[in-house]
Structure 1
Amino acid sequence: MQTTRLYRDGHRVGGEHSLTNLVEHRASEDCTVWVDLTLDEEDALDELASLLELHQLAVEDARSHLERPRLARFDSHLLLTLSSSHCDEQGDVTISRLTAFILPGILITVHEAGFPIESVAKRLDENEELSAYRVPWLVWALLDVVVDSHTDSVERLDEVIEALSDGLFSERPDTSEVQRRAFTLRRSVSKLRHATLPLKEVITLLIHQGEEKVAPELHPYFADVGDHAALAADWSETLAEHISTAIETSIALQGNKMNEIMKKVTGWAAIIAVPTAITGFFGMNVDFPGHNEVEGLIASVSLVIGSSVVLYLVFKRRDWL
């Protein structure tokens, strides 16, 4: 759904505003315009592209689903691509893109359905006293919401990964399930890394290359967003290492468990082999002392039981069983 906002002299101007009227207002030094579109509002985007002479490649990028976070310069405007993230309770991360056309006096955003655009509007309402700083203020609100979404996602992922790591050492871990979840979480972390790693550079470029110079009063706000973006990026790198460690630990534990099983099987095989050898000896078709006599039966049974008990005690003492 199309959203339009007009700010004049630091206050929001209510009412409905046509795209043509908004484009005319953006030329005024005391006006700031924000137009937000969804990807399916192609006619409105084409109209704005015509009114503002937006570059064709920039418009194509806004309709693409494959762009990574970046800042691109065109003759008449800057093109900012951002991605927000959402992590559910299972650790599955969903990425939603937004593309922003940054021009003097006007910001145009085109977002996917999952992007938290309502949070951006709320952030603007909460900080309307900064509206005198025009488009950089709008861009800051966008960045702040995006970085907050990444921070929430890495926190949730951290909790899920910690729970997964704790489950590795449970009494009977489901190895296949642990590995499946670990690989799923690794994909989620990879998505977060691609969304967060370029943000620090993007924020730096915005401060120094914006169409409208960022006022010194806004520098602390951009610096704060940049710090949080760097934290989210570093945290995502750490989570990637934790996932790799969890997968390696799971494989190592599985190997150790297999070794324990093989050791026990070998121990029991050794215990069984000795009675087999004894009964084989007493089962020979030759005469020997005690052959076909009760004494021979007692001797063979005693040897079987005695050797089995001795081997069992020796193996048990050495933790082979």
Structure 2
Amino acid sequence: MLTEENFPLSDVDRFRGQDDVVVWLDLCAPDAEQLHLVADELRLDPHAVEDALSAGERAKLDRYPTHLFLNTYAVRLDVASGELVSQEISAFIAGRTLVTVRGDDTFDLDEVLRRVHGADLAAHGVAYLVHGIIDVVVDGYFTAVQALDGALEDLEDMLFDEDVPEGTVHRRSFELRKSLVQLRREILPMREAVNSLMRRDTGLVTDGLVSAYQDVYDHVLRATEWTDSLRDMINSILDTNLTIQSNRLNLVMKKMTGWAAIIAVPTLITGFFGQNVPYPGSGESWGFSVDLFVLVLSAAILYVVFRRKGWL
């Protein structure tokens, strides 16, 4: 049961001394001084504090003598731009105390609070809170992967749409591939992190929560496998798009060559008879008519032949 919120830092020791109390400190965009005050109060390792203050740390679980340090990322895909928006979340797990550090309020804690509300919090302590956080994070993975899947399916439909402006598919493919690479970079390490949390020597997960953590671990594996299939899918789209562009270029070149051939034959005829030498019909009215007829006939024959072959 939630008994107190927004309490001063000086009261942390008072709450930590109670066996039936779980303390959760959430720090949103703290500066170095604020985090070091908490670190001194809870005796957090300086290396873990440095990781929490540094941006771009990989998802991981580190063990220290007095606590565990978990780093993870909440993600969201902007479908319109294809950009993956990620929020780094760091957590210090020390006994029945949890300290979370967020860069901003992009990651909504209301969903976590909704999931962890109830008697299970008192029974399982901090492990229940940690499970709530990573459960919401992993659900975000599925939402992002599903959005990527939908965006790639739309991209497949655009492949054979001739009304789509040239370069759109290629540009969109690279945008989505960039987001997919970033998403995989944040999902893959979570397998090891969640698996490490479940190890008995961490002393975190109680027997009653093993199945819940196993469920999260299975979800991470499924998300990872899904990204594997999406990686193959986007590579296939890129290859197919290149093939289509090559075929379209060949078609254009074929048409240009066909028209060039049609023009070349009359040019050859007029060039030959344009020599300053006498030829049959030269100076006669019917000679011009015959020449014109031959020019039109040769061009028409070539046009019909090329048309039947699909070159024009």
Name the TM-score class by shorter chain: over 0.9
Q: Do the aligned partners of residues 210 and 195 (structure 1) sit closer, same or farther apart at CA in structure 2, a change above 3 Å counting?
A: farther
Corresponding position of 1:8: none
After superposing the two structures, state which structure 1 stretch, 131-140 or 174-183, moved more: 174-183
Task: Find the aligned partners of 2:305 and 2:218 in 1 and give their Cα distance.
Answer: 62
After superposing the two structures, state which structure 1 stretch, 236-245 or 283-292, moved more: 236-245
Corresponding position of 1:56: 46
After superposing the two structures, state which structure 1 stretch, 223-232 or 206-215, moved more: 206-215
> Does 1:46 pair with 2:39?
no
Residue 317 (structure 1) shift: 0.7
Task: Find the aligned partners of 1:71 and 1:309 in 2 and give their Cα distance.
Answer: 77
Task: Find the aligned partners of 2:148 and 2:301 in 1 and give their Cα distance.
Answer: 53
After superposing the two structures, state which structure 1 stretch, 201-210 or 13-22, moved more: 13-22
Contact 2:21 2:122 in 1 (8 A): no
Task: Find the aligned partners of 2:174 and 2:34 in 1 and give their Cα distance.
Answer: 41
Q: Give the partner amino acid of 1:314.
A: V
Residue 229 (structure 1) shift: 1.1
| Pairwise CA RMSD | 1.6
Task: Find the aligned partners of 1:282 and 1:299 in 2 and give their Cα distance.
Answer: 12
Corresponding position of 1:133: 124
Q: Do the aligned partners of residues 293 and 79 (structure 1) sit closer, same or farther apart at CA in structure 2, a change above 3 Å counting?
A: same
> Does 1:305 pair with 2:296?
yes
Corresponding position of 1:320: 311
Corresponding position of 2:90: 99
Q: Do the aligned partners of residues 272 and 233 (structure 1) sit closer, same or farther apart at CA in structure 2, a change above 3 Å counting?
A: same
Corresponding position of 1:118: 110
Q: Give the partner amino acid of 2:20.
A: D
Corresponding position of 1:247: 238
Task: Find the aligned partners of 1:159 and 1:95 in 2 and give their Cα distance.
Answer: 19
Q: Give the partner amino acid of 2:216.
A: V
Q: Give the partner amino acid of 1:304.
A: L
Other structure's SS at 1:115 match: coil
Contact 1:104 1:211 in 2 (8 A): no
Task: Find the aligned partners of 1:291 and 1:210 in 2 and give their Cα distance.
Answer: 107
Corresponding position of 1:74: 64
Other structure's SS at 1:96 match: strand
Q: Give the partner amino acid of 1:108.
A: V
> Does 1:165 pair with 2:156?
yes
Q: Which runs of 5+ in 1 are unaligned?
A: 1-10
- Residue identity (%): 37
Residues 11-35 of structure 1 show CA distances to partners (whole Å, capped at 9, x for unaligned) of 2213542223223322432121111
Other structure's SS at 2:199 match: helix
Corresponding position of 2:222: 231
Residues 49-69 of structure 1 show CA distances to partners (whole Å, capped at 9, x for unaligned) of 111111111101000111010
Residue 86 (structure 1) shift: 0.7
Corresponding position of 1:21: 11
Q: Give the partner amino acid of 2:140.
A: S
Residues 255-280 of structure 1 show CA distances to partners (whole Å, capped at 9, x for unaligned) of 11111100000000000000111112
Q: Which runs of 5+ in 2 are unaligned?
A: none
TM-score (norm: length of structure 1): 0.92
Q: Give the partner amino acid of 1:63.
A: L
Task: Find the aligned partners of 1:154 and 1:34 in 2 and give their Cα distance.
Answer: 30
Contact 1:161 1:243 in 2 (8 A): yes
Residues 104-143 of structure 1 show CA distances to partners (whole Å, capped at 9, x for unaligned) of 1111100121223232222222x55343100110110011
Q: Give the partner amino acid of 2:25.
A: V
Task: Find the aligned partners of 1:64 and 1:152 in 2 and give their Cα distance.
Answer: 27
Q: Do the aligned partners of residues 268 and 16 (structure 1) sit closer, same or farther apart at CA in structure 2, a change above 3 Å counting?
A: closer
Residue 209 (structure 1) shift: 5.1
Residues 134-175 of structure 1 show CA distances to partners (whole Å, capped at 9, x for unaligned) of 011011001101001111111111111111121111023323
Contact 1:104 1:212 in 2 (8 A): no
Q: How many residues align?
A: 310
Other structure's SS at 1:198 match: helix
Task: Find the aligned partners of 1:237 and 1:278 in 2 and give their Cα distance.
Answer: 62
